[in-house]
Structure 1
Amino acid sequence: MRRILLLLSFLAAIGAGWAGYWYLGGFAERVADAQTTPAHRAEAAIPVVLAEAKRMTLPISFATIGTVQPIASIAVTSQVSGIVSKVAVADGADVKEGDLLIEIDARLIDTEIEEAQATLAKDQANIDKAERDLARIDKLLAGKFETQENAADAQTALDLAKATLQSDQAALHNLQVQREYYSIHAPVSGRIGTVPVKPGSTIISGQQASPIVTINMFDPIYVAVGIPQKLVADLAEDKAQGVAKISLTVPGRGETREGAVTAIDNAANAATGLVTAYATIANAPALLWPGEIVNVEVIFRDEPDQLTVPDEAVRTNQQGSYVYAVDAQQRAHMKPVTVARNVRGMTVIASGLKEGEQVVTDGQLLLSDGVQVSVKQAMGTGG
């Protein structure tokens, strides 16, 4: 029993020794740490990314969405009824102005044209005969062998024959014009949709007739944008000066297209308060399609000599906007700024900053006024 008590006492002594060692060691570490507070060691610099305040030309613009629309969308109908004899285009084909689209069976009208041409030949023969009769009677009248009355009748017969020829020529011309309706051509260049008729289909003319094909003009093409009422006057002024334009990125391609603002609607939409403006965009090859919704930038004009910093440099608190500017001693200072506008990832500074000053774009959360900083490289810039 006594041996057990001695063993327990020995183990307790060893445990107390280890506890004292741990406590005294931790205390020593804390003392050493306390002796290396800012009063005893150099201030640690906070790593930040910097950008320079620069002057550059930036547009007066705003971002919105636009709708792609064809400048012309033509529903082609037939002016005559008949049976389709030929379809000269495929569904979805590109066509040029004047290209043949559809042919309608024209055998009947071709026969009528041949009859009209024969009638003209007969009329010409009648005129030739009337001219010979008149010449013969005039000759006899000069020799006193014919009466004046007969000469007048011969002249009348010739005049009637010529009038009949003119009438029949007009009838032939009318048939020839109608004959053109049997070959339907593209009135504009563009792209067609599906062609609902096939050879053998019956086409009905008239106001109730369904379109044979619809042609949308693809190049150039419109992009329509709603403009707030308060900006319409400025846009109209810049349009008159030829500087207003619209820029867009082609969906799925990343390709940028620009076009001048060529038209502004003559009334505001009562429901939205927006006035529609149209920009004409070159669309060859056909990358934009009617009905698409695209992100656009409406550019009124370009303004030079704008003091700018990246958007990431500007922060906001209860007092307003501010940036952290870094001086030559690598210390950050909070500077209140007045923001004019934001465009294309840049903030235009109206006041509070000078050209060439270095501002922090990353790392502001750890900063306070006057803190020491070190410059690190932004991600993705290499090095």
Structure 2
Amino acid sequence: MRRMIIAAVLGISLPFTTPAATEELTTVTMTTITEWKAVFGKVEARNNVPARSRIGGTLTEITVSEGTDVTEGQQIGTIYDAKLALQLDSIVAQVDALQSQLENAQTELTRGEDLLKRGVTTVQRLDALRTQVDVLTSQIESIEAEKRVIEQRAAEGAVLAPISGRVLTVPVTTGSVLMPGEVVSMIGGGGFYLRLAVPERHAAFLREGADIQIGEDGSTQTGKLAKVYPQIQNGRVIADVEMSELGSGFVDARVLVRLPVGETSALLVPADLVVTRMGLDFVTVKEGEHGTLRAIVPGEHHVIDGKSMIEVLSGLSEGENVTLTKDVAYTPAKDHGNDGH
């Protein structure tokens, strides 16, 4: 046993004769593999639009809270301005007064027309009465238009959602006094995506449309690198990643993302062909009719076309054939050499 351990450490191969049964051989070749960089992305809404107050006044009602889903044009709050109600009462009183004057003027005009027929009054007097009726009618129309303006301003006390989406923040409460243009709530909509901040040394390897791995091992999803922004901020490149089923339960949540940042060549062998004994890793190299147990130095695990592969740092050379290790007795043999790469 001790001789076997020393032989493996020194790179000495241990041969054995394989059974005559047909074996599947795997030829070791240089394979181009993608280098991945693990970063954290942040879930963000594509559009963050504030729902603002259109008039000043007191917020008398707020119907949403953080996390509420809203549709475009939905009323989410009500602002009341007492001055508008007083102005509206004043306008109504003015309309009533002018309406009374108009009725009196129309009566005078009708009487003047009768007097003119009998020759008691003059045409000039009748024209003056007719002009007075027209002036009062125009004044009433002007006041009515002003009334509609005030009613519209009062109607703008309804705070509406500018887009469909989810309410992110509500910085005010019922009873708050607001000025025109103040934010009542912030709404995120237009879909959700991942925003990344990647160290600038990897900027040259980022390509729009590249596949991105999202999530931890075992629950990995695939997304697309949708956009790479040209401006570098604080030594980092900003990029956006899109995916079909991105959860929007928590905006600004951090998600693990793996980005392709380069390519390299390596010798890969299937993971099921590597055995570990006494802390050392071995593969069986087929040489003619015999299989030789060869100690290797393994590297990282990779998944190529859905198959688990192990990178070999030393112990194998390109073009050698490896096969499944058989459970047989091993005997020391002469040194076959260790052609590391």
Taking the aligned partners of 1:136 and 1:331, their CA distance within structure 2 comes to 132
TM-score by length of 1: 0.51
The aligned residue for residue 335 of structure 2 is none
- What is the one-letter code of the residue matched to 1:290? D
Structure 1 position 99, deviation (Å): 3.1
After superposition, the C-alpha distances for 1:82-127 in whole angstroms (9 at most, x for unaligned) are 4443332234333333333333345553454344345445545555
- What is the one-letter code of the residue matched to 1:289? V
Residue 186 (structure 2) pairs with residue 214 (structure 1): yes
Task: Indicate how the Cα distance of structure 1 residues 289 and 130 shifts in structure 2: closer, same or farther if over 3 A, else same.
Answer: same
The aligned residue for residue 3 of structure 2 is none
The aligned residue for residue 254 of structure 1 is 219
Residue 190 (structure 2) pairs with residue 223 (structure 1): no
The structure whose Rg is larger is 1
Task: Indicate how the Cα distance of structure 1 residues 171 and 126 shifts in structure 2: closer, same or farther if over 3 A, else same.
Answer: same
Residue 239 (structure 2) pairs with residue 268 (structure 1): no
Number of residue pairs the alignment of both structures matches: 282
The aligned residue for residue 152 of structure 2 is 177
Task: Indicate how the Cα distance of structure 1 residues 44 and 257 shifts in structure 2: closer, same or farther if over 3 A, else same.
Answer: closer
Taking the aligned partners of 2:287 and 2:97, their CA distance within structure 1 comes to 107
Taking the aligned partners of 1:260 and 1:372, their CA distance within structure 2 comes to 39
Task: Indicate how the Cα distance of structure 1 residues 75 and 371 shifts in structure 2: closer, same or farther if over 3 A, else same.
Answer: closer
Residue 70 (structure 2) pairs with residue 95 (structure 1): yes
The aligned residue for residue 375 of structure 1 is 324
Indicate conservation of the 8 Å contact 2:70/2:164, yes or no: yes
Larger RCO, structures 1/2 (Cα 8 Å, 6+ apart): 2
Indicate conservation of the 8 Å contact 1:68/1:294, yes or no: no
Structure 1 position 205, deviation (Å): 1.0
- What is the one-letter code of the residue matched to 2:179? S
Indicate conservation of the 8 Å contact 1:310/1:361, yes or no: no
Residue 160 (structure 2) pairs with residue 204 (structure 1): no
Task: Indicate how the Cα distance of structure 1 residues 327 and 270 shifts in structure 2: closer, same or farther if over 3 A, else same.
Answer: same
Unmatched segments (≥5 aa) in structure 1: 1-41, 236-243, 300-308, 315-323, 333-343, 348-359, 378-383
TM-score by length of 2: 0.56
Higher helix share: 1
Unmatched segments (≥5 aa) in structure 2: 1-14, 271-282, 292-301, 327-341
Higher strand share: 2
Task: Indicate how the Cα distance of structure 1 residues 224 and 196 shifts in structure 2: closer, same or farther if over 3 A, else same.
Answer: closer
- What is the one-letter code of the residue matched to 1:312? L
Indicate conservation of the 8 Å contact 1:331/1:371, yes or no: no
Tell me the SS of whatever aligns to 1:268.
Answer: strand
Coordinate RMSD, CA, aligned: 5.5
Taking the aligned partners of 1:118 and 1:246, their CA distance within structure 2 comes to 70
Task: Indicate how the Cα distance of structure 1 residues 178 and 248 shifts in structure 2: closer, same or farther if over 3 A, else same.
Answer: farther
Tell me the SS of whatever aligns to 1:102.
Answer: strand
- What is the one-letter code of the residue matched to 2:46? I
Taking the aligned partners of 2:225 and 2:313, their CA distance within structure 1 comes to 41
Task: Indicate how the Cα distance of structure 1 residues 144 and 297 shifts in structure 2: closer, same or farther if over 3 A, else same.
Answer: farther
The aligned residue for residue 34 of structure 1 is none
